Chain A
């Protein structure tokens, strides 16, 4: 312990050559640099068929895995395979692993076979009707064509199931079975089929719980990967939307989907996200929250560098802005990256309500941030150091109310802040119906009683309450959490040196935030590292028809969201232009 401390101490004062590490910076795309965005349209007209292949569960990456993947080790002898499967799944110890043996008849030859699947994760009806029935009954039918191998024959004639894969390696089959597939082994065939018969219990699409809006779609993500990608695809309807499949987790092999729009998103960004996702080596992943922590730039920055959303429409709009969205199986929260501090303050509602109100909303939210971050600190600083700036009547009111309070105001505010955090934390843990009741008890009774018992002053209750309300006005939960943590630093700084302390704190925080990056994008963009349209487009919200460009700092391939005149009815010219645009698009 001591040695360790001495080492740290020595490290503080000696110099070690830093390891040179290239930091990822999101640069302008090569095309953009070379020809300036104009040529994008030519690129768009790529052969369409090829794209459609991309839609089907990413053949490419699958192939990749096959190439460098495990060795083909399925034996032609069924008994051997069965032994291995039994060994792998610890049958019969493992209760929900089902191994069903059966025979099928091909060209009047009886061939033994077996299938393996997990009970509960598969759909029984599909297995019965689409797999067992055809294999056991239909295989007897008269065959017209003459297939060479049994495997080909079975795939093309006997199994009518729609998602059927053939693997040569046991490991791949096992993966498929682990993820709700049904593995079929046939004697004399050195490969196995995996039919996708997922049928586990899951939650239906519900309203998003944490990000509610009044206007806008009311669907939220669920725990199913494909349902989630479908929810996004349903909104965008764009064949350029790519959903690359990746598996993360050495044991869990959790499927994830990395989504981006091919001709908008910067390639280097996609590459960087893919690189980070692929490099992850953990055993299991339970939620995208863990994935977030594994791929974010800085773990120490108190605010999130990846936006987490429960709303498909928000994820879709992020995609449309040129971001990458990662959806993980088993988590109803999608990760959108990169993200800037400013974007975390946006709510999907901003674009759904009309523009004057949207700007008011944004302003209120900024207020919320400042209140939740600084108000308690400012209160301590002002009451301890800058009493002259309190209006005299208020000063006397505070003095009178504090007169019977035995604590210094820092302690007082820390007591209240901590009890407020307690109420908040308890409110989440407490089972449903009691939750709100506890809120009332906490807020009213506790606050009232604390004041009556002269433990805190009534002014302070207002400060803490306003701070709490401010932090709830922040649309991103993780951001609000970050500011909640920082708030304590400001309370201490305010207590140490008043406004000087708080200003120094703001400066340090600013320098810190400004030097951070989220996936190569400066975290404080578009203000610090100023980019075009920072205030008008990103900070405030112009009318919808004026939101013409994607954020500059995203360095997207196609900067324009809509032509200069997007409301054709406003002018004849506009209509002409629109038609031209449509033509060009086709």
Chain B
């Protein structure tokens, strides 16, 4: 690959991951949390953050023996070309579906928020053009742009969170355990899929090079993201009490709508549209790049750029599959977000464990030979 010379710094990688993990906040993460955890949705968010962090530590420990190798390389290590292709196809299906559905959701939400009369394909085209441009410019540009924009997105997010402070009502997050301990700590476990964006890190390891950067960028990203995820769920619940909270759609938009300071500074949610759209564009272009990158790597293609247009058409087509907004949300929340953990964490751990065992055995064999 012509890109393999590129190396990212710690912050750049972390910025990429922060956006990948937090973009769901702008969709319906807070609402899902509220739905599952009731008034304790924020505890659920904190719980899965801790879980994700522990899992990440485990993975990065296992990964230390395979520095600079991504999941595809691991697949190849285990099962040769067949292994690589199997892993590649699983990842490809996973990312393609997530990106397509999220593309659709973003476009639908944008339509609801500010372009009610425009056809959905028109709105999707805007996002698609960003994705294509991002993929053409390559991962280096995407990552650099993340490093530049993510702080701005975070600042915008903080303004929204801080702006609704007059509406906070502590009693809204009582009773403290919400839907009960089992809903949070038991079945809530599968919500760890919220961190499935981490797969980007496992796929971009060759660009990160050192295991130290891998670990610190991952930890930093999970740290900041969990801060954002927890505050988003918490703020949403503080402002919208539990039963009303799960009614609304686009939680952060609903929060932004409330901001008002005096007669002048109100109705600023349209500014939020900008932050929201740029986060979406970053995320989608990153995801889209991963699709073409994984595809080209899986099938050992020398160039990825020719894949961009066909892939874009596929993603565009898939994004138009769901009949309506509700089924898009349902597909995202029910299916992907609860099954995505299996790909991100399950498959990664499996690959690492098998590869680790094989490496040990090979090592021993070599030792025997000597």
Contact = CB atoms under 8 A, between A and B. Distances in A.
Interface of A: 13, 15, 17-18, 20, 382, 385-386, 388-389, 391-392, 497-504, 506-508, 510-512, 514-515, 522, 524, 527-530
B115 to A, nearest CB: 6
A522 B144 CA distance: 10
Given A18-B303, A389-B271, A507-B282, A500 B144 contact: no
B281 A503 contact: yes
17 contacts: A20-B2, A382-B270, A389-B268, A389-B270, A391-B264, A497-B118, A499-B114, A500-B277, A503-B273, A503-B277, A504-B127, A506-B274, A510-B145, A510-B149, A511-B142, A528-B145, A530-B148
Contacts of B123: 497, 500
B141 A511 contact: yes
B130 interface: yes
Interface string B171-195: 0000000000000000000000000
Contacts of A529: 12, 144, 147
Given A382-B270, A386-B114, A497-B115, 15 more contacts: A13-B309, A385-B270, A386-B270, A391-B263, A497-B118, A499-B271, A501-B126, A504-B281, A507-B281, A507-B282, A510-B148, A511-B137, A514-B148, A530-B9, A530-B11
B59 interface: no
B278 interface: yes
Given A500-B123, A504-B281, A511 B114 contact: no
A499 B148 contact: no
B354 interface: no
Contacts of B122: 497
Contacts of B309: 13
Contacts of B263: 391-392
B327 interface: no
B267 to A, nearest CB: 5
A15 B137 CA distance: 17
Contacts of B273: 386, 499-500, 503
B211 interface: no
Contacts of B277: 499-500, 503-504, 507
Interface residues of B, number: 44
A386 B11 CA distance: 35
A499 B114 CA distance: 9
B57 interface: no
A368 to B, nearest CB: 19
Nearest to A15: B306
Nearest to B142: A511
Interface string B27-57: 0000000000000000000000000000000
User: Per DSSP, are chain A's interface residues mostly helix, strand or loop, or mixed?
Assistant: helix
Contact of B144 (A18, A506, A528): A528
A514 B141 contact: yes
Given A15-B306, A503-B274, A385 B115 contact: yes
Which of B133, B263, B268, B305 has the largest number of chain A CB atoms within 10 A? B133
B11 A500 contact: no
A572 to B, nearest CB: 38
A498 B269 CA distance: 13
B134 A511 contact: yes
B114 A504 contact: no
User: Which 6 residue pairs of A and B lie closest in terms of their CB atoms, listed nearest first?
Assistant: A515-B141, A528-B144, A528-B148, A503-B277, A386-B270, A515-B137
Q: Of A18, A392, A500, A524, which is in contact with the most chain B CB atoms at under 10 Å from its CB?
A: A500
B96 interface: no
Contacts of A527: 147-148
Nearest to B257: A388
A339 B249 CA distance: 46
A506 B2 CA distance: 27
A507 B130 contact: yes
A212 B123 CA distance: 46
A74 B282 CA distance: 68
A511 B270 contact: no
Interface in B121-145: 122-123, 126-127, 129-130, 133-134, 137-138, 140-142, 144-145
Contacts of B137: 511-512, 514-515
B110 interface: yes
A9 to B, nearest CB: 13
Given A498-B114, A498-B115, A529-B12, A504 B130 contact: yes
A388 B267 contact: yes
Interface string B104-119: 0000001000110010
Contacts of B305: 18
B285 interface: yes
Contacts of A17: 303
Contacts of B148: 510, 514, 524, 527-528, 530
A539 to B, nearest CB: 11
Contacts of A502: 274
A508 B149 contact: no
Given A386-B270, A388-B267, A529-B12, A511 B147 contact: no
Nearest to A385: B114
Contacts of B267: 388-389
Nearest to A13: B309
Contacts of B142: 511
A519 to B, nearest CB: 17
A13 B129 CA distance: 17
A81 B270 CA distance: 80
A500 B303 contact: no
Contacts of B303: 15, 17-18
A511 B306 CA distance: 19
B125 to A, nearest CB: 9
A191 B278 CA distance: 70
Given A528-B144, A530-B9, A500 B285 contact: no
Contacts of B270: 382, 385-386, 388-389, 499
A487 B147 CA distance: 25
Interface string B244-275: 00000000000000000001100111110110
A373 B140 CA distance: 25
A508 B145 CA distance: 10
Interface string B285-313: 10000000000000000010110010000
B12 A530 contact: yes
